[in-house]
Structure formats: C-alpha cells, structure tokens
Structure 1
C-alpha cells in the first residue's frame, strides 16, 4: 500500500525490483517477492516460519504487502499463545480472517445511486424517478445506469427495474449514450472513472 522507497523493512534487492520500469505500487507482488517479504517480516518479528508455510501463505495472500505483514503478525501472536511452530493447518484460519476482513463490500445499486447523487447534487429518489426529466437529473440517472452495468452483474431488465421500471431497450440506449459521451468528453470520463473508484474504495 506504500511506495517501495517508504518500505524500510524490504531488502534492497526487493525494493529495486519494485522500482524497476513502470511497475505501479498498486500492482500485487509476485510469488517470489511475497515469499521473501514473509521471511523478512518473520525474521524481524522473531518468529520461525518454515519454507513450506511461507510458500503456502504467499500462495493465498496476494493483494498487498500490508496483508502479508498482517498475516505474519497474527502467526506470531498464535505462535506465542500456543507455543507451537506454525503449520499449514494452524495458519489456515488466520489467512481466512485476513482475507474476509479485507474483502471489499458488495457493490449494490443503492451504493451506486447514492454516490452518483452526491456527485451531481441530486437525491437518490430523483435518480430513480420516472417523472423528473431535468437535464442534471437525467444526466445523473444515465451515469448511474452506466455505472450499475459496469459494477454489477445485473441484467439489462433488472437494471431497468431498479431505475423506475424502465424498459431494457432504454437501458441499452442509455449505456451506449454514456459510452459515446465518455469518448467525446474527457471531463465526463474522468468524473465517471472517479465515481467508479469511489464506489469500489468505500
């Protein structure tokens, strides 16, 4: 979650690998790097973790360095509590807790509409309404429909039902319209991209 230069616990070799070329700090580390991070963190925390367990943890925890370090901390706490060396069986529960706690909340139509409403200064009810056709509200509604298609698995029919029981053909037309707007207007694309990011990050 941090730029490589700020991660003081990484060895120079690993830090160099992160900084090479155009690797973004949001890109998950590869398996070899994850194993090395786990071993280094375990060494710093004074907990003995076998190669087998390190490889198992690295194969399960893939998202980021924070998760890897958090897993090692929990393994250390369990190690001191139980007085036994970590095994694959004993770390499975820890890994499950880490992954479940960091799982992003489900993206719902309600969340999408609330975020779009906040961005455009309108109400959620106005976005859902069949009656209100003012330009600002219609624009917000169109974007909410597009984002719903992007972030959920709802069918066109289901999306139409969420937005005032609109016909699925209207939903298809709306999505295509927003796509064209994004192609022509960079500012519109930036607003929609930011909206999607905000929803995913919440």
Structure 2
C-alpha cells in the first residue's frame, strides 16, 4: 500500500516557486529545492515529477495568482482607469517589495528561446493580460477617461511590454522613487 503524503503540497510548491524565482531555473538544483521544500529528492520526484515539471507547476502557480489578483483589482475599482492605475501601481510596488525580478520576466529571458512549453505558458499569460488591459482601456474610452483617438489594443500591448522594462530598470537602479515616477508616466501616456 502506498504511503500517504504527509505534507501540504501547495505549501511546498510555493517554497519551490520562491527558490526558482530567486535563483532562476538553471541555477536551481534538486538539492536547493530539497532544502527549501524540506523534502528529499525522491519525495520531490514522486510528488511533482522532474525538475522541469516542478518548475512548470511553480510558474503556473505564479501566473494564476498574479492574474487573479489583477482580475480582482479590475472588478473592484470604481472606474476602468482607476483599475489600470491600481494594477500599474501594484506591479511597481511588487518589484520593490520582492527585491528581485518578476518571475515571468526572469523566466522569459532565461527559458523562452529554448523551452517551448515555458514560452507557450508565458505567451498565453501575456495574451490574457493584454486582453484584460484591452477590455479596461475600451471601457475607459467609452467612459471618456481616455481620448477616442487611442487604440486600446496597441495601448494594452504597450502596457504589458512596459512591465518588463520597468522591472529591468528597477533591478539596475534600485530607485523606488524613480520606478514609481516611470509608472506614473506610463499612466499619463495612456491618458494623453
């Protein structure tokens, strides 16, 4: 009879996610994962599969949590532009509080060229985020919060693409004030 799992799989997944996020996929060893998850390698393989399978589960967890957070913001704000502003503020705040690059951005630069599965996951996430912003921007336009000459689809792509640039800028300069100034400029570009 197989042994029952004696640990919280989600809790261990979050610990693995944080290890991959901090170190990157290639720099993370099974030993690192075992240490952070407080599991032996056999338990990791039996529960989560290979290192790559575990990474994909961690990345999916990060994507799902982040996107769900943005959806909650979009649903709870008084206006579409307030939702967009709130999401951009949260992105900037997260860069400062996490003290390392966004897991999505980090994974994109490290793995997208060689790992089709990761590239597909990240592309699907990017497309979903662009769609969310496009919907918000269209509603903002209908509400008169942005001018009618703006193209919501192009602005949505610009916003999502800008997140990587903001993250890289913060990693280079570690200047919270400058990061928030750039984020506010992004909002002004949308409204102008």
Same fold (TM over 0.5): no
Q: Please give the TM-score of this superposition, normalised by the length of structure 2.
A: 0.29
| RCO comparison, higher one (Cα < 8 Å, 6+) | 2
